[in-house]
């Protein structure tokens, strides 16, 4: 198989397919994941090829989906649960934070739950309420969950396979507004040579300011960096990829060179991932910082109606404004 | 099970419960309150368990009750943080376990420690949660027993999922999932019944209706005619049994386990019983129930009823009673001895089990705690 240009949606699909081919214990379960192939078609064709027993159209109940996945995992299965939209995860939230996250700990390591919970997240798709949220901080705040997110098709392909292979539960956030953006994916690459799931990546090297982002905002930041380059400013873009654990070594190394950091996410500002990044960068890179860490985030409001979501969401201009603020120090 | 086709819409007044999913008008019973035989019709279709099983149940109930009293005493001595007693519920605690094979799974709540001991889980390991030195002290895989559930009913979807896994693997494993009357109000109870039915999962949901969710009586918990009535909405048969009649409890649960094992899907059993003690040692039950009510239920004591029934059938001697008592004393003597010392909880272990492998942040934080503990 040679390199192929594919969308993020297709890359998750291809990654899931490969994981299912490699291990009979991998199951896909959720609402509409089978016959329909998911509302975003991410699981398209999997039920046809792997059967109704491995790609399961469940009753419509997120708590039941996650809860029964726990029982399946206890007997050796590796369920991949799809939550249809970010805002619909909360009926299953109790099972995720109280049960999935804690089972390994409370059993003294005797019970492992290799469950992946896939959640399409984020806004800018013109949807009605509860369809555009960024709830990642709730999960990253919960010990026992790994929380990761991809920003491009290449990562989507490999990260979903790495998540399935992990013995810990993983909440896997997919940037739904980027689902149909393409990148080259080469399945022939040796999996051992792929960047580790929990590592950040320098997506674009630069010298003047570090901009750290994840998921849908990585593309926004790359666009901002491109615009800044036209004005002679060199921005380094770091894709955090893993939000729990949040391995910031890559960011520290970058900030020690640039002396400046802007953190960008769609999620609300207060106690968001950006706050944790800012705190830790301050702890670790205090003498390298030329300016306070700047945050570019959603506002501290519930996610807005579609007609005003573009005024709520961080965009290229807001990222560049933050870069300017940082450089003004 | 009858089908729609057998009851065409054109026929006169279709029965309200064509599939037979609703419980009988009265709970299944084999014994009257004093242990004499109940009227024949109360048995329904259920077979009487053999005397050997009932003798074993008697012995286990005596041991369970003694264990329960000892655990309450240990709490008063400060050896346990808290103990939710199941005194009065011995028929359910023991019956739910004796209906299972060792290869079956049990999903208990915090009030089911007596069931854990009946399952031959080491008593000290069974009390680890309540002692506070770890959350679950026994090996769930080795004992085929899930950790005790504290947020009620959250374990029921797990039970449904595990039973579904067993069916997928072609195993004949059955899962017994325990819950109380209060737990039936939780969404997880309903989702678990629905998923179990859809998955044809071999799981028996046993509701120990002990009449109170701490202080809230059943009348404030549900407007349904019975908790077993809740099965019909999911296509799950509901059975109601006198939960203080050990013969009936074993008859019904053995049958329910056989039904689940046969591939017919889940069964919901409501056992009407009573929590004789307060919710825990920290509870004051005089604030919400009358002394007379407790005394009334004591006259329906499951151990006394089985004692009377077995003696009437020449299946229990004074020597048997002494032997059961001795078995109980042996267990609690050992328990007292081993609970006398301080728990062996190690704070450094906190970091070992968050994930399969500790993350770099956890290793760093483990270092901070080690330094605080005076290690280098």
- Å between A221 CA and nearest CA of chain B: 27
User: Residue B3: inside a domain, yes or no?
Assistant: no
Co-location of B241 and B370 in the same domain: no
Co-location of B232 and B359 in the same domain: no
User: Residue B69: inside a domain, yes or no?
Assistant: yes
Cβ distance B157 to A71 less than 8 Å, yes or no, reads: yes
Residue to substitute from B162, B236, B355, interface A, most A β-carbons within 10 A: B355
Co-location of B243 and B364 in the same domain: no
Confirm or reject contact between B158 and chain A (CB < 8 A). yes
Range A178-194 average pLDDT = 96
- Å between A172 CA and nearest CA of chain B: 16
Domains A4-193 and A201-327 share a fold: yes
Q: CA-to-CA distance for B117 and B114, rounded, in angstroms?
A: 5
Cβ distance A99 to B140 less than 8 Å, yes or no, reads: no
pLDDT at position B376 is 56
Of A59, A71, A104, the CB nearest to B164: A71
Which contiguous run of DSSP H or E holds residue B119? none
Residue A227 has a CB neighbour count (10 Å cut-off) of 16
pLDDT at position B4 is 42
What tokens does A145 get? 């969950």
Percent of chain A with pLDDT over 90: 99
pLDDT at position B342 is 80
Q: Is B275 tagged catalytic?
A: yes
Range B166-178 average pLDDT = 97
Report, at the CATH architecture level, how domain A4-193 is classified. 3-Layer(aba) Sandwich (3.40)
CATH of the domain at B298: 3.40.50.970
- Is the pLDDT at B184 greater than 80? The verdict is yes
User: Residue B12: inside a domain, yes or no?
Assistant: no
Percent of chain B with pLDDT over 70: 96
User: Residue B214: inside a domain, yes or no?
Assistant: yes
Q: Which fold does the domain A201-327 belong to in CATH? A: Rossmann fold (3.40.50)
3-state secondary structure chain A: CCCEEEEHHHHHHHHHHHHHHHCCCEEEEECCCCCCCCCCCCCCCHHHHHCCCCEEECCCCHHHHHHHHHHHHHCCCEEEEECCCHHHCHHHHHHHHHHHCCHHHHCCCCCCCCCEEEEEECCCCCCCCCCCCCCHHHHHCCCCCEEEECCCHHHHHHHHHHHHHCCCCEEEEEEHHHCCCEEEECCCCCHHHCCCCCCCEEEECCCCEEEEECCCHHHHHHHHHHHHHHCCCCEEEEECCEEECCCCHHHHHHHHHHCCEEEEEEEECCCCHHHHHHHHHHHHHHHHCCCCCEEEEECCCCCCCHHHHHHHCCCHHHHHHHHHHHHHC
Confidence of residue B343 (pLDDT cuts 50, 70, 90): confident
| B348: helix, strand or coil | helix
User: Residue B39: inside a domain, yes or no?
Assistant: yes
Q: Is B336 tagged catalytic?
A: no
Cβ distance B135 to A110 less than 8 Å, yes or no, reads: no
Tens-digit pLDDT profile for residues B265-305: 999 999 999 999 999 988 999 999 999 999 999 999 999 99
Cβ distance B139 to A98 less than 8 Å, yes or no, reads: no
Co-location of B252 and B356 in the same domain: no
Higher-scoring residue by pLDDT: A228, B281 = A228
Co-location of B250 and B366 in the same domain: no
Cβ distance B141 to A110 less than 8 Å, yes or no, reads: yes
Range B101-113 average pLDDT = 98
pLDDT at position B328 is 98
Catalytic residues of A: 131
User: Residue B114: inside a domain, yes or no?
Assistant: yes
Co-location of B242 and B367 in the same domain: no
Co-location of B227 and B362 in the same domain: no
Convert B160-175 to b/e letters by CB count within 10 Å (16 or more is b).
bbbbbbbbbeeeebbb
Number of domains in chain B: 2
Share the mean pLDDT of chain B: 94
Q: CA-to-CA distance for A312 and A299, rounded, in angstroms?
A: 6
Percent of chain B with pLDDT over 90: 91
Of B141, B159, B195, the CB nearest to A59: B195
Domain enclosing residue B30, as ranges: 20-345
Co-location of B331 and B367 in the same domain: no
Confidence of residue B13 (pLDDT cuts 50, 70, 90): low
Confirm or reject contact between B146 and chain A (CB < 8 A). yes
User: Cα A313 to chain center, whole Å?
Assistant: 17
Confirm or reject contact between A95 and chain B (CB < 8 A). yes
- Å between B268 CA and nearest CA of chain A: 17
User: Residue B99: inside a domain, yes or no?
Assistant: yes
Co-location of B229 and B310 in the same domain: yes
Per-domain residue ranges of chain A: 4-193, 201-327
Co-location of B374 and B247 in the same domain: no
Of A71, A98, A167, the CB nearest to B160: A71
User: Residue B10: inside a domain, yes or no?
Assistant: no
Range A160-183 average pLDDT = 98
Co-location of B220 and B95 in the same domain: yes
Co-location of B237 and B372 in the same domain: no
A residues 251-310 lying closer than 8 A (beta carbon) to B:
none
pLDDT at position B341 is 84
């Amino acid at each position: 198989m040679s390199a192929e240009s594919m969308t993020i949606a297709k890359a998750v699909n291809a990654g899931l397919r490969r994981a299912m081919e490699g291990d009979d214990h991998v199951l896909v379960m959720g609402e509409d994941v089978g016959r329909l192939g998911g509302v975003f078609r991410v699981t398209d064709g999997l039920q046809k090829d792997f059967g109704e027993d491995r790609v399961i159209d469940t009753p419509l109940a997120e708590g039941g989906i996650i809860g029964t996945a726990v029982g399946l995992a206890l007997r050796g299965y590796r369920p991949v649960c799809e939550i249809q939209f970010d805002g619909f995860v909360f009926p299953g939230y109790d099972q995720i934070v109280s049960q999935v996250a804690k089972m390994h700990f409370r059993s003294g390591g005797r019970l492992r739950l290799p469950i992946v919970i896939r959640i399409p997240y984020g806004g800018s798709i013109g949807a009605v309420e509860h369809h555009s949220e960024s709830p990642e901080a709730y999960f990253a705040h919960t010990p026992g969950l790994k929380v990761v997110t991809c920003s491009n098709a290449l990562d989507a392909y490999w990260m979903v396979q790495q998540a399935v292979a992990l013995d810990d539960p993983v909440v896997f956030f997919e940037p739904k507004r980027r689902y149909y953006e393409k990148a080259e994916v080469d399945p022939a690459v040796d999996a051992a040579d792929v960047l580790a799931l929990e590592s950040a990546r320098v997506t674009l090297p630069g010298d003047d300011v570090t901009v750290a982002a994840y998921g849908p905002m990585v593309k926004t930041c790359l666009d901002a960096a491109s615009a800044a380059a036209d004005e002679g400013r060199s921005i380094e873009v770091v894709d955090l990829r893993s939000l729990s654990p949040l391995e910031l070594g890559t960011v520290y190394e970058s900030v020690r060179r640039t002396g400046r950091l802007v953190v960008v996410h769609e999620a609300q500002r207060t106690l968001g991932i950006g706050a944790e990044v800012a705190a830790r960068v301050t702890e670790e890179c205090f003498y390298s910082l030329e300016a306070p860490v700047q945050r570019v985030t959603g506002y501290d409001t519930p996610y807005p109606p579609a007609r005003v979501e573009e005024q709520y969401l961080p965009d290229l201009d807001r990222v560049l404004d933050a870069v300017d603020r940082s450089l003004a120090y | 099970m009858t089908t729609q086709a057998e009851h065409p819409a054109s026929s006169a007044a279709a029965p309200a419960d064509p599939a037979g999913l609703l419980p009988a008008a009265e709970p299944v019973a084999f014994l009257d309150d004093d242990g004499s035989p109940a009227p024949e019709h109360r048995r329904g279709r259920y077979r009487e368990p053999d005397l050997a099983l009932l003798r074993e149940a008697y012995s286990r109930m005596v041991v369970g009750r003694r264990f329960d009293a000892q655990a309450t005493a240990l709490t008063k001595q400060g050896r346990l943080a808290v103990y939710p007693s199941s005194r009065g519920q011995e028929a359910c605690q023991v019956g739910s376990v004796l209906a299972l094979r060792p290869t079956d799974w049990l999903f208990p709540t915090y009030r089911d420690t007596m069931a854990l001991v009946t399952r031959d889980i080491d008593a000290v390991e069974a009390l680890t949660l309540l002692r506070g030195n770890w959350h679950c002290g026994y090996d769930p895989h080795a004992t085929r027993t899930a950790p005790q559930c504290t947020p009620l009913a959250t374990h029921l979807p797990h039970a449904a999922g595990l039973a579904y896994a067993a069916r997928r693997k072609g195993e004949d494993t059955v899962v017994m999932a325990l819950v109380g009357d209060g737990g039936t109000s939780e969404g997880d109870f309903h989702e678990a019944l629905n998923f179990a039915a859809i998955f044809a999962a071999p799981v028996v949901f046993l509701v120990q209706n002990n009449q109170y969710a701490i202080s809230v009586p059943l009348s404030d918990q549900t407007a349904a005619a019975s908790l077993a009535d809740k099965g019909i909405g999911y296509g799950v048969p509901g059975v109601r049994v006198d939960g203080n009649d050990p013969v009936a409890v074993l008859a019904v649960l053995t049958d329910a386990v056989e039904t689940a094992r046969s591939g017919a899907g889940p069964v919901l059993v409501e056992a009407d019983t009573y929590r004789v003690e307060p919710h825990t040692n920290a509870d004051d039950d005089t604030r919400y129930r009358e002394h007379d009510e407790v005394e009334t239920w004591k006259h329906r004591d499951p151990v006394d009823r089985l004692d009377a029934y077995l003696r009437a059938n020449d299946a229990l001697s004074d020597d048997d009673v002494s032997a059961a008592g001795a078995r109980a004393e042996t267990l609690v003597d050992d328990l007292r001895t081993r609970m006398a010392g301080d728990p062996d909880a190690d704070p450094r272990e906190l970091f070992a089990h968050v994930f399969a492998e500790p993350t770099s942040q956890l290793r760093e934080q483990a270092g901070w705690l080690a330094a605080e503990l005076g290690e280098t």
